[in-house]
Every structure is written in C-alpha cells, then in structure tokens.
Amino acid sequence: MDEVVESTSWFRFESVAYAIVFSFVIILWCHYKWNRKDINRFAAKLQGPPSYPIIGSGLEFLGTPQQVLENLIKLGDDFGPEPFKLWMGTSFGVVIIKPEDSQIVLNSAKALQKSSFYKFFKNLIGEGLLSAPVDKWRVHRRLISPVFNANLLNQFLPVFHQKNEVLIKNLSKEVDKIRPFNLISYIAPTTLDTICENMMGYNLDTQLNDKSEFFATILKASELDAMRIYKPWLYPDIIFTFYRKLKGLQNIYKTLDKLPNKVIKEKKEAYAQRKITNKTNSFDNSTDKGEKKPSKGFLDTLLELNEIGVNLTDIELRDEVVTMMSAGSDSSAITMCFCLLLLAIHPDIQDKVYDEIYDIMGDGDEKITIEDTNKLVYLEQVLKETLRLFPIAPMFLRKLQDEVKIVSCTEVLPKGTTCILAPLYTHHISELYPNPWSFNPENFNPENVKKRHKYSFIPFSSGPRNCLGSKYAMLSMKILISTFLQNFSVHTDTKLSDIKLKVDLLLRSVNGYPVTIRRRDRRPTYKRNQKVS
C-alpha cells in the first residue's frame, strides 16, 4: 500500500514538474514572439527567399564557398534592387541595395553597431576596428586615426619602393615562361611586408624568406569563420569546436596568432630598450628646435599611448595588429591581383594605363612620388572599376539600435534588424553601371561619376565607420601597379567569364590569378602602334 501511495505521489510531482517546464517554455516563447512582433510584422511585408524555423534561409547557402557566392548573386538578381529579407538563423536581416538607402543606414547613429555575426570572426580578427562594439570602436578610432594623416603617408614611400624592388626582382624569374603563375603568391608577401614595416615598424622580410604560413592560415580561418554566418548549425561553439577537430583545424587560431604575437613582443622589447637608451642619452632639446620629428607608426603609437595611461590590454593590441595585418594587407593584395588579371584580359586597357605611367614617369628608373600618384588618373579609374566589379568586402552587416526610415520602404526598419549593406549588389545595378559584369574603367571618368549617387560606389564602406585605411590602400595599390607595369607586361589566357568567385571575410577568386609576364619595352604603346601601322 505504501508503495502505491509513494508511486502516486511521485507521478503527481513528475506531472507538476512537466507542467511547470511546459508552462515556462510557453511563457518564454510568448515573450520572444512579443519582443519580435514588430520585426515579424515587418518581415511579412517583404519579399525574400523561403525561411524555416531555426535555420532561417540556411538552405540557400549549402555547398562550397563558390556555390554560396553564386547563390548570393542569384538572390540579388531575383529580389533586388528593392530591399528584401534574409533570415540568418533566427536573426532577421534586410538586404539594402539602393544607394540612397545605403547612405541613410551607413550615416545613422542608430546603425553604428556591427552585427552579432561579427562575433564569428572574433577568433580571427578579435575586436579590432573592423568588428569592435561601438563603445570600444569610438575610443580606438580616435587613438588610431592620427596614424593615417597625410604627412605619414608621405613617409611611407621609401618602404613602398624598397618592397616593390624586391617584388620586381622576385618576379624576374617568371619572365617569358609559358606556364602561368599565381599572382597572389608574389603580391601577398609584398603587401604583408609593406604594412608590417610601415605600420608596425617591423621588418618581416616574407618576400625574401618565403614565410607563407600566415597567409595560408588567414585564408583557412576566414573561410571557416565565414561559414558560420550562413550555416546556423555551426552557431553553437561546442559544435563549431567539434567541426574544427573533424577537419583537423583545431589549432588554426593558435597558428594564426604566432606572427602578430611575435611582432608585438619584439616591438615591446624594442620600445622598452629605446626608453632606457633615451634616458641615458638625454640632452638639451634646444638643439632640435625647428626640426620636424617623424610621425610615429601604428604600433609605436599604441605602445606610447599605453605609457600615458590608455591601458590597452595585450588582447586589444593583438586585435588591432591582426586586423591591420590581415584585413589591411590581404584586401590590397587581392584587389591588385584582380586588377592585374583584368589588365591581362584587356590588353588595350593595359596599354592605356602604361602610356599614362610613361607620360608621367618616362622610361627612366625614377622613384614615384606622391605628386606622381595624384596624376595617375586613368590608373585610379582602373582600380575603382576593379573594386566595383569585385568589391573586396561584398557585404557589411549593421544591427539597428533603434528604428530607421529608409527611402525604399514605406515603414521604418524595426529595432534589432540586421541591415545587410551589399556593395556586391549595389555595384552591379544596371541602371547605374551598364553591362555591370563587364570591365569598363570609363565608369569612373568624371562625367559618369557625376551622374551617379555618391553611394553607388562603397568599396570601403562609408559614413562614420568607413575604412580608416582607404587612402593608404589606394596609395599602395597605385605605387605597386605602376611599378609592376613599368617593368612587365602581363598576359593571360583567362577570360573574364572564367573568373569564379568565392566569399569568406573577403571576396576572392576560386582559381587564383593566373598570368604570364614579359619584360616591358619601355616606350609608350601608342608610338609603337603608330610605327607598326
């Protein structure tokens, strides 16, 4: 009898427990739906791909990075250029394509926060300027901005020249070879060496020592982290950790951190030693009156700021350094490889670029100056057209901290919406750029630029959170491309339609950048053409 009573009591307790748990789940669900009522109501009015519980529109992004990119382009074709919805797991996103809408969002104080999806890149770039929360970004932006002033850009020139000389020497072994080589294997070490010495004051010498581990690791880590954005089943850290072990990539982030940590450690030691030396050899500053001291580099500035109480942690230093080394060098390298490949595909445009370089630099070995780069107007058009056709950052994600009204929607975008600003789509609106998937530098002649909305071209983002290094990037690309073309002509059997794209943190070519090169006959092509005719 006692056993029956005990069993009945346990049954009642179990039933009550189940009822409480069930009720709690229902309450949570109702609370969740209530908090998202504005988003759900707004989402119901927008077009977009099908979505399902938990995974959202995740089925649209099955396959390889190339297939994912192809699906993204198709979504733009199917639903753009009007805003359309894209559920990323349970997060609601609105894809913003029209320039007038992008301008509003990118300049709104309510849209400064990067999307929570950037946390997936935390293992790669931490919380540097690219991905930092607004409060941290404001502080770090203010600290780092002075590094990119015009005076410092001028001081970078000797390093640009030195590293490009090594590049030309290394490329010489490829001259007149029949078999194509991949441009990235030469350009990437050059941009890494350049940014390390200019920004970190650190002579890495990757070009001479063939240390390619950093770039190989960056590529793998970028693909791995980007995959989480469009594969909701990898959102939980425990599943992602298991997936990395399954793929043999469990130590990838430790490998990635080796170089930045080494740079920081050695620079800290050098900085400390320099302080001791300066104290020992201190003298009357009156002898330096009127002399302009050289501007400090990026890492030296951060270390000096720490001395006066800013107190950046080792993790924060690492985050800014790895952001500079990866996003800064990798983005420029990829863009220049695309540019040179496009010039190889279009020899007539390559000739026109070379003629401009010849007119400015002649056939001598003079070093290019800042003034010279300002005169390379057509080369700048070519670089901008490259960035239009293949925007290095195909999408930016911002999370709205409050409602925002854009031109193309009758209702406001609800608080909590992830705005997906998409240069990948904006740069290919046919009304703005006729034949948008063709390569035409005339898209950026002054007359055509005047016809378009300012935000029709946003390769470096725009507004308060734009890319701080955009001027550095354009300067470095002009100098390298012009130096390259002064010495070599570039050729390829690849057609524009052969270029297949994939996306991770950046937009890349699936099959690399295959070209051959020949030693440049340093005469203007138009004179050679006249002679032939």
DSSP H helices, 122-156, are: 122-125, 134-144, 150-155
Strands 501-503, 396-399: pairing is unpaired
Residue pointed to by tokens 């925007």: 391
How many other CB atoms are found less than 10 A from the CB of residue 285? 7
In three state form, how does the secondary structure of 472-483 look? HHHHHHHHHHHH
Instruction: Give the tokens for residue 180.
Output: 């194509």
What 364-370 contacts at long range (C-beta under 8 Å, 24+ apart), as own/partner pairs, is 367/157, 367/161, 368/157, 368/161, 368/479, 368/482, 368/483, 369/157, 370/153, 370/154, 370/157, 370/475
Residue 491: strand pairing partners: 516
How many other CB atoms are found less than 10 A from the CB of residue 55? 19
| Binding-site positions for heme | 467
Closest CA to 336 of 163, 219, 508: 508
Angle at 13 between CA 11 and CA 14, to 5 degrees: 65
* CB-CB contact of 392 with 335 (8 Å): yes
* Helix H or strand E segment including 380: helix 377-389
**Alpha-carbon span 413 to 417, nearest angstrom:** 7
- Residue by residue, DSSP assigns 210-250 as T--HHHHHHHHHHHHHHHHHH-GGG-SHHHHHHHHHHTT-T
| Binding-site positions | 467
**Alpha-carbon span 485 to 289, nearest angstrom:** 43
**Alpha-carbon span 503 to 517, nearest angstrom:** 28
**Alpha-carbon span 278 to 520, nearest angstrom:** 48
* CB-CB contact of 403 with 414 (8 Å): yes
Beta carbons within 8 Å of 11's beta carbon, 6+ residues apart = none
* CB-CB contact of 139 with 491 (8 Å): no
Residue 93: strand pairing partners: 86, 418
Closest CA to 165 of 157, 175, 155: 157
Q: Could you give the C-alpha distances from 62 to 70, 79, 120, in angstroms and in order? A: 11, 19, 18
* CB-CB contact of 180 with 516 (8 Å): yes
Q: Residue-wise over 196-228: b if at least 16 C-beta within 10 A, else e?
A: bbbbbbbebebbeeeeeebbebbbbbbbbbbbb
CA–centroid distance for 416 within its chain: 24
